[in-house]
Amino acid sequence: MKGFSPVYRKELYSLFASPVFYVVAFTFLVISGYFFYTAVAFFNFQSFEASQNPMLAKQMNVSDMIIRPFLMDMSIVLLLISPLLTMRLYAEERKTGTIELLLTYPISDTATILAKFLAAATALAVILIGTFPGILLLATFSQPSWETILCGYLGIFLLGSAFLSLGVFTSSVTQNQIIAAVLSFGALLMFWVIGWTKNLVGPAAGNLVDYLSIIKHFDSFAKGVLDSRDFIYYLLFMLLCLFLTLRQMESYRWRG
């Protein structure tokens, strides 16, 4: 993996030096802050009602009523912003011609792809860490289950990384960043809604589309359930996308 770390550091620098990252992070944090606020406010409202209703009081649960909806809301915002984090990775290099430098330096394509992907994943982690203050605030006023929270954040990081891996691939097929972002967004949305047809396409295909659904696997993480199947789904998704990118770069070389 020689050559991985210089490319990784350069990509990180380019990411954090570009205004795109800050605009994306700002938007994400404002919107998810709003979602967090509404989840907490709704919980408060319910708590007042629960004080008169013992049946309802038994169902009041911070994990289910704040953490889980908050994570689900964040996943939607991630769907919208993650194509913006990855769109420049290859498209810009192709546009400016710097890809010629990158491909003639003694770095394997695998190392380059991993470096670019992990740089984007690092940016994602930084953005997600930006939501921690809300969680810490929540922890000072109530006793949320830390296991659920960690599991949920692991899930959203995996989900986001899967989004990014697909973005890396679409960025490698074009030299236009907008096309890369739109393709990635479209494909991700398709993976998001593909499970909706599970009752329409017959039992075998139904299971398949249900398994392919990218958001279904997140649900168990959000509930605080760590299931190896979901873990493996995201890993396979990322591996497939990065493998496709590798093949795409090879084909790019041959076409010249």
Give min distance, CB of 183 to another protein, in A.
24
DSSP-derived 3-state class of residue 118 = helix
13 binds another protein (CB under 8 A): yes
190 binds another protein (CB under 8 A): no
DSSP symbol at 66 = I
Alpha carbon distance 64, 220 (integer Å): 12
69 binds another protein (CB under 8 A): no
Size of the residue set binding another protein (CB under 8 A): 28
247 binds another protein (CB under 8 A): no
Q: Which of 38, 53, 59, 98 binds another protein (CB under 8 A)?
A: 98
Taking CB under 8 A as the binding criterion, the range among 44-52, 72-80, 90-98, 122-130 that sits at the site for another protein is 90-98
Which residues have CB under 8 Å from 60's CB, separation 6+? 43, 46, 47, 50
Q: Which of 53, 56, 100, 199 binds another protein (CB under 8 A)?
A: 100
Q: Which of residues 17-36 bind another protein (CB under 8 A)?
A: 17-18
7 binds another protein (CB under 8 A): yes
Cα 87 vs. chain centroid, distance in angstroms?
A: 14
Q: What share of the chain is helix, strand, coil (3-state, %, to 5)?
A: 85, 0, 15
CA distances from 219 to 110, 153, 155, 173, 248 (A): 31, 12, 9, 31, 32
C-beta separation of 136 from 54 below 8 A: no
| Integer Rg of the chain from CA | 20
Give min distance, CB of 111 to another protein, in A.
10
12 binds another protein (CB under 8 A): no
Comparing CB distances to another protein, the nearer of 89 and 209 is 89
The DSSP H or E segment spanning 200 is none
Q: Which of residues 103-122 bind another protein (CB under 8 A)?
A: 103-108
97 binds another protein (CB under 8 A): yes
Interface residues toward another protein, by CB under 8 A: 2-3, 5-7, 9-10, 13-14, 17-18, 96-108, 253-256
